């Protein structure tokens, strides 16, 4: 396990390397982010960002999405994979948000997890990026891989990763830290190879030179 001092150093180094932390999904408001993150399951963010402009142009409001024919939604999102289940979840979620929440995305983990197709990663993304809740950890594949390599824990369980990082990281930095791990995981600490020679965290990493996905 890493200490809070270690974590604070990592936060500072990643801030310097990636001064602008961003969510890789394009969206204009909370419900659009909820849609985009559902589409991103087993699909690249780049592909989702090609699909959502078409989807949101066709259905510019939650009510329009709630009223949309299922087969039309499926046709638009087909290329992101698992489009039958995703379309069903999107339509059902839109209906729930319109009927129960007056078109607003709820602000609690419990309410978000009750929506069709929403897991902890999706819920944490909404809580952190939209509602700026402190202490949020988005345990995606990059976060899980790099957290293990950095020695925060030895587990691929997303909830265990979430809890370990929440304990170690400053609450006000955790959400941005996770976004920076995505940028770092794509550019440097990739699944196939850890490019340690150009890693800003190299001096703090106990698992240098990893060549295969772990």
Report the first-to-last Cα separation within the chain, whole angstroms.
Answer: 17
C-alpha 12, offset from chain centre: 21
60 CB-near residues (< 8 Å, 6+ apart): none
Annotated active-site residue in 45, 91, 121, 129: 121
Please say if 91 is a catalytic residue.
no
Nearest to 157 by CA among 171, 141, 170: 141
Please say if 121 is a catalytic residue.
yes
Distance between CA atoms of 92 and 66, rounded to whole angstroms? 7
Annotated active-site residue in 89, 129, 140, 176: 140
Q: Is 139 helix (H, G, I), strand (E, B) or coil?
A: coil
CB-CB contact of 88 with 82 (8 Å)? no
Kindly list the catalytic residues: 121, 140
């Amino acid at each position: 396990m890493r200490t809070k001092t270690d974590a604070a150093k990592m936060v500072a180094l990643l801030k310097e390397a990636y001064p602008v932390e961003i969510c890789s999904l394009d969206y204009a408001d909370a419900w659009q982010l909820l849609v985009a993150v559902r589409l991103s399951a087993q699909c690249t963010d780049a592909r989702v960002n090609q699909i959502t402009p078409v989807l949101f142009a066709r259905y510019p409001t939650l009510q329009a999405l709630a009223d949309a024919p299922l087969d039309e939604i499926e046709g638009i999102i087909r290329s992101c994979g698992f489009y039958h289940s995703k379309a069903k979840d999107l339509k059902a979620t839109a209906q729930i948000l319109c009927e129960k929440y007056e078109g607003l995305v709820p602000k609690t983990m419990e309410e978000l997890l009750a929506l069709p197709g929403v897991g902890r990663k999706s819920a944490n993304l909404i809580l952190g990026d939209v509602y700026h809740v402190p202490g949020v950890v988005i345990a995606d594949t990059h976060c899980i891989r790099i957290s293990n390599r950095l020695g925060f824990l030895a587990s691929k369980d997303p909830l265990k990763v979430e809890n370990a990082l929440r304990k170690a990281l400053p609450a006000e930095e955790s959400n941005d830290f996770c976004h920076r791990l995505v940028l770092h995981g794509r550019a440097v600490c990739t699944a196939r190879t850890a490019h340690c020679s150009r890693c800003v965290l190299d001096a703090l990493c106990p698992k240098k030179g990893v060549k295969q996905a772990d």
